Structure 1
Amino acid sequence: MRKLIMWNVVTLDGYFEGESPWDLSFHGLVWGKELEEFSLTQLRSADMLVFGAKTYQGMADYWTNAKEEEGEVAKYMNELPKLVCSTTFGKTNWKHSTITKDATTEISKLKSDGSGDLFVFGSASLSNSLMKANLFDEFRICIAPVFLGKGRRLFTEGIPNQNVQLIETTPLTTGGVILRYSK
């Protein structure tokens, strides 16, 4: 059975995006060789990447035009199957992509087939919906050492109470920390 895993970088005060869409400048505070290796390990274990429509479009725009120095990460991002969860999204523009209008039903089916992991990157609205449906098996959060003070929070009100267990803590030389929690 596959696991559904959330992966996000957030600030110490809980923001996953700055004041404007795709303001992810704080990611540079934690990026380095360690986080690159962690990213590759995740991508190697992935059977599929799962995105909401806005994150999908931003990722597609970035990774289809990735520079050579993005190397192996770009290869995985472009070659892995991708699922876009949206009731309004019309057409994919990134290879190996499909659309579902019913994320919870589709992901429930996908979890029961295969053995590789399903990763949700970014996609706060989708992640909140999947949390409400109790579909995540693991949460991987990298804490960036900064307070933004404003922006878009990853976790919103209305998420049901869910106990999780810390399974790994990985400090980064950049000052960030990767936290892994399972249900």
Structure 2
Amino acid sequence: MGGMTMTKLVLAMFTSLDGYIEGPNGFVPPAWSGDLETHWSGYALERAGHLVYGRVNFLFNKDFWSPAETDPSSPAAGIAHAVVMNRLPKTVVSSTLSGDPGWNATLAGADLAAAIGTLKSSLQGKDIYCFGGAGIANSLVSRDLVDEYRLMVTPTIFGDGKRLFEPGLPKLGLDLIENRPLDTGAVILHYRRTR
């Protein structure tokens, strides 16, 4: 087991300076740049062996990335990591979806902790990345299933919207692994859960 590292669940999400992942009128994508692509998307996709989504975020991403496989003129087709996004196995946490969700995904089932535990034991040398949705983020955090938090704080104040962390979560201690400013003015803050 010498070189084996435990599979981690990494919550990778962006948030406004005042803690919102959506503004009052919904999702606002962060300013994009090559720097961000390298240290945000690229970083995650080099390390991810599995992706975890909530239903809304899953459907949004499925609709965005899937066409890259068949339609060269689709927006996703021009993005270098579209192939990886489409290839990676995924788990969807949803109480309303049933059957085969498509996009190389399976449904998690009712016991989220058990589903994540099974994933962790099945992946070798890669990590599980959760790119979000507030509901799934809070479900994972409230059960203390997240091993690392990789958050991108964007240079915006939304004033209102959907919070990344809902009130009532348990108190969790974290250690800072990395902080990296990007040329967009955003900062990546990477914390490891102290266990």
TM-score, scaled relative to structure 1: 0.91
- The answer as to 2:88 corresponding to 1:88 is no
Conserved? CA contact 1:170–1:179, under 8 Å: yes
Q: CA deviation at 1:134?
A: 1.0
Partner of 1:77: 85
- The answer as to 2:57 corresponding to 1:52 is no
Partner of 1:165: 175
Partner of 2:117: 108
1:81-160 matches, cutoff 5 A: 81-101=89-109, 102-115=111-124, 116-160=126-170
| Structure 1 portions without partners, runs of 5+ | none
Q: CA deviation at 1:123?
A: 1.9
State the Cα RMSD in Å. 1.4
* Per-residue Cα deviation, 1:41-95 (whole angstroms, up to 9, x for no partner): 2112111000011111111111113523212x21111110010011221244542
Distance 1:93 1:70, change over 3 A: farther
Structure index of larger Rg: 2
The 1-side partners of 2:66 and 2:100 are apart by 12
Q: CA deviation at 1:114?
A: 2.4
TM-score, scaled relative to structure 2: 0.86
Q: CA deviation at 1:13?
A: 0.4
The 2-side partners of 1:69 and 1:155 are apart by 33
Higher mean Cα deviation, 156-165 or 120-129?
120-129
Partner of 2:15: 10
Q: How many residues align?
A: 178
Conserved? CA contact 1:60–1:93, under 8 Å: no
Conserved? CA contact 2:23–2:159, under 8 Å: no
Q: CA deviation at 1:100?
A: 1.5
* Per-residue Cα deviation, 1:120-147 (whole angstroms, up to 9, x for no partner): 0122111111111111110000010011
Higher mean Cα deviation, 122-131 or 158-167?
122-131
Identity of aligned residues (%): 37
